[in-house]
């Protein structure tokens, strides 16, 4: 499920498209999928990039937009005709009522034969006054005549446009074409969802959800919950806190309503908490202990020390705030990011067993943690920002699958100038941040490589 008011980001896909080298298929993402060639594989096959809009392709198709415009014109013409019909009926009734009056006046004038008494003259004058509105009615008739001519021309143009669209579409009707495109779009999106992972190539502009709480804190949704479960958890402050608010939906969180409170048995340190499969994972205050608190039973299921991990502001992020230990969830599971004395203050990434909290495997990234603003995991890759202040960018990436790293340059707009929490939600493919008392979302763009059917 996508957060409220938050549209889903486009998906970038690399497709092996034989025989399309140097050809641009779609040039405008507003018109539909953006599909263009970008490189050539060693085997001679061309590599194409497709940008898939989040909305229905049919909704952005040029023909669809033109048809909608034509439908709006038809509706406008229909409404104009209705108004014209009502007005004509009203005016016709008025003219008919005036017809009797005009005949009586005509008879009186003929009978007078040039001589009228003062009383008769006044009566005729009063009757003539009653006829004064008739001139405006006749003027309206003239205007309505011009309107009829204009409407007739619009109907003629609409007929020509519809005939042109029908000829362009060929044998298939529009509804049939729409269903075919929607089915293709669904298959492509399903394929992308199965792939799941990709390399981070872009971060959207920030989307402010709410301004609530102090300068530091964290908020999150459950990365493993079904799409129907949109609960939001809110934890204000970065040390000695115990109160966790659980909102029923994101909409309730925005409005500040429909929430319950959990009181943790042990206080937290930092803001690197995460909710995973119904449980909260957090760092116990003044210790290197990881605590797993289950919301359903309101109890601690397990807690365990993270061997050698620094705590109590020994190895925090650049902003401090007891951020020595940071817990994350991506497509592959639960992670801990921290530092030990043995690693000389460099970031360590450890894969944790979510049931026992045992360390399954660790990697030394070589990146000094005090130089990092914040960090997040996507598809087994640790991405690190170079600052928590304005001007920050995603600067470093460590790939756990190859134990290698690279320096990156992905712009990251830090709107409120002080990020104290940054976490990726794989279910929503969005970054959750706490920025100077503001709860903010960012959509991410991931680069995927897939092969078409029949390719190895």
Rounded distance, CA 90 to CA 80, Å? 15
54, part of any domain: no
Note the pLDDT tens digit of each residue in 60-93: 456 666 766 776 777 677 667 667 767 666 766 6
Among residues 167, 196, 225, the one where a domain terminates is 196
Rounded distance, CA 295 to CA 302, Å? 13
| pLDDT of 104 above 70 | yes
| pLDDT of 136 above 90 | no
Query: 406 and 397 in contact (C-beta within 8 Å)?
Result: yes
| pLDDT of 161 above 60 | yes
Note the pLDDT tens digit of each residue in 20-68: 333 333 333 343 444 333 344 444 444 444 555 444 444 445 666 676 6
Note the pLDDT tens digit of each residue in 354-391: 999 999 999 999 999 999 999 999 999 999 999 998 88
Indicate if 286 and 417 belong to the same structural domain.
yes
Note the pLDDT tens digit of each residue in 206-223: 999 999 999 999 999 998
- In this prediction, residues 394-421 reach a mean pLDDT of 95
| pLDDT of 188 above 50 | yes
Tokens of 349: 């990434």
Rounded distance, CA 107 to CA 109, Å? 5
Cα dihedral 130/135/141/143 (nearest 10):
-140
11, part of any domain: no
| pLDDT of 187 above 70 | no
pLDDT of residue 215: 94
Residues 6+ apart with CB under 8 A from 99: none
pLDDT of residue 141: 66
pLDDT of residue 448: 67
| pLDDT of 149 above 90 | no
| pLDDT of 165 above 80 | no
| pLDDT of 433 above 70 | yes
Indicate if 234 and 203 belong to the same structural domain.
yes
Residues 6+ apart with CB under 8 A from 106: none
Helix (H) or strand (E) holding 447: strand 438-450
Q: Look over the chain and give the mean of its residue pLDDT values, rounded to a whole number.
A: 79
**pLDDT-based confidence at residue 205 (cuts at 50, 70, 90):** very high
Rounded distance, CA 386 to CA 399, Å? 17
- Number of separate domains in the chain: 2
Helices (H), 56-208: 57-60, 62-112, 118-130, 133-169, 174-195
Indicate if 169 and 262 belong to the same structural domain.
no
Query: 359 and 308 in contact (C-beta within 8 Å)?
Result: no
- In this prediction, residues 306-332 reach a mean pLDDT of 95
28, part of any domain: no
pLDDT of residue 243: 98
Rounded distance, CA 377 to CA 394, Å? 12
Tokens of 257: 């309503």
**pLDDT-based confidence at residue 261 (cuts at 50, 70, 90):** very high
Query: 416 and 437 in contact (C-beta within 8 Å)?
Result: yes
Beta strands 404-411 and 259-276 are unpaired
- In this prediction, residues 107-118 reach a mean pLDDT of 66
Q: Which residue has the tokens 């957090």?
A: 282
173, part of any domain: yes
Helix (H) or strand (E) holding 254: helix 250-255
Indicate if 318 and 343 belong to the same structural domain.
yes
Tokens of 175: 């509804």
DSSP state of 288: -
Among residues 196, 217, 241, the one where a domain terminates is 196
Indicate if 125 and 217 belong to the same structural domain.
no
C-alpha dihedral sign at 172, 174, 176, 182 = positive
Indicate if 332 and 394 belong to the same structural domain.
yes
pLDDT of residue 54: 44
Query: 311 and 287 in contact (C-beta within 8 Å)?
Result: yes
Indicate if 314 and 428 belong to the same structural domain.
yes
Indicate if 355 and 256 belong to the same structural domain.
yes
pTM of the prediction? 0.61
Candidates 423, 443, 5, 1; CA nearest to 255 is: 5
148, part of any domain: yes
- In this prediction, residues 224-246 reach a mean pLDDT of 93
Three-state SS for 326?
strand
Query: 405 and 366 in contact (C-beta within 8 Å)?
Result: yes
Q: Which residue has the tokens 């170079």?
A: 386
Rounded distance, CA 200 to CA 245, Å? 31
195 vs 135: which has the higher pLDDT: 135
CATH classification at residue 398: 2.120.10.30
Indicate if 150 and 266 belong to the same structural domain.
no
pLDDT of residue 13: 45
271, part of any domain: yes
Among residues 196, 229, 256, the one where a domain terminates is 196
Indicate if 248 and 389 belong to the same structural domain.
yes
Structural domain boundaries, residue 175: 63-110+120-196
Indicate if 409 and 295 belong to the same structural domain.
yes
Indicate if 406 and 432 belong to the same structural domain.
yes
Query: 52 and 10 in contact (C-beta within 8 Å)?
Result: yes
Tokens of 190: 């399903």
pLDDT of residue 27: 37
Cα dihedral 292/294/300/303 (nearest 10):
-10
454, part of any domain: no
104, part of any domain: yes
For the ranges 154-158, 331-335, 360-364, the lowest mean pLDDT is seen at 154-158
């Amino acid at each position: 499920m996508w957060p409220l008011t938050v549209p889903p980001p486009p998906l970038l896909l690399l497709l092996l498209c034989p025989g399309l080298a140097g050809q641009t298929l779609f040039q405008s993402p507003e018109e539909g999928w953006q599909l263009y060639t970008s490189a050539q594989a060693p085997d001679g096959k061309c590599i194409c990039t497709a940008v898939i809009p989040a909305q229905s392709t049919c909704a952005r198709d040029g023909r669809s937009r033109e048809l909608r415009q034509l439908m709006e014109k038809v509706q406008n013409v229909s409404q104009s005709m209705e108004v014209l019909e009502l007005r004509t009926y009203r005016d016709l009734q008025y003219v008919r009522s005036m017809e009797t009056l005009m005949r009586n006046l005509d008879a009186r004038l003929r009978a007078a034969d040039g001589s009228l008494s003062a009383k008769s003259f006044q009566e005729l004058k009063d009757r003539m006054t009653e006829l004064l509105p008739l001139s405006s009615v006749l003027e309206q008739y003239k205007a309505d005549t011009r309107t009829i001519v204009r409407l007739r021309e619009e109907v003629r143009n609409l007929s020509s446009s519809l005939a042109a669209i029908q000829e362009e579409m060929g044998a298939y009707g529009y509804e049939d074409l729409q269903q075919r495109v929607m089915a293709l779009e669904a298959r492509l999106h399903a394929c992308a969802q199965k792939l799941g992972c990709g390399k981070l190539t872009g971060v959207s502009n920030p989307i402010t959800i709410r301004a609530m709480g102090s300068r530091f804190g964290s908020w999150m949704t459950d990365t493993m919950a079904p799409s129907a479960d949109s609960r939001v958890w809110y934890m204000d402050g970065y040390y000695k806190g115990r109160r966790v608010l659980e909102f029923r939906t994101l909409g309730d969180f925005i409005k500040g309503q429909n929430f319950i409170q959990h009181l943790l048995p042990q206080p937290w340190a930092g803001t690197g908490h995460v909710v995973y499969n119904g449980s909260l994972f957090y760092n116990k205050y003044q210790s290197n202990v990881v605590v797993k608190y289950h919301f359903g039973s309101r109890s601690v299921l397990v807690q365990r020390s993270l061997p050698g991990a620094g705590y109590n502001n020994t190895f925090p992020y650049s902003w401090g705030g007891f951020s020595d230990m940071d817990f994350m969830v991506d497509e592959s599971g639960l992670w801990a990011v921290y530092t030990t004395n043995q690693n000389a203050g460099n970031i360590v990434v450890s894969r944790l067993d979510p049931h026992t909290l045992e360390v399954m495997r660790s990697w030394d990234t070589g990146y000094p943690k005090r130089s990092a603003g914040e960090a997040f995991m996507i598809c087994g890759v640790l991405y690190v920002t170079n600052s928590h202040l304005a001007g920050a960018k995603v600067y470093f990436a460590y790939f756990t699958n190859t134990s290698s790293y690279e320096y990156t340059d992905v712009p990251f707009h830090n709107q409120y100038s002080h990020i104290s929490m940054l976490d990726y939600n794989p279910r929503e493919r969005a970054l959750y941040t706490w920025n100077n008392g503001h709860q903010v979302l960012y959509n991410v763009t991931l680069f995927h490589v897939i092969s078409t059917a029949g390719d190895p």
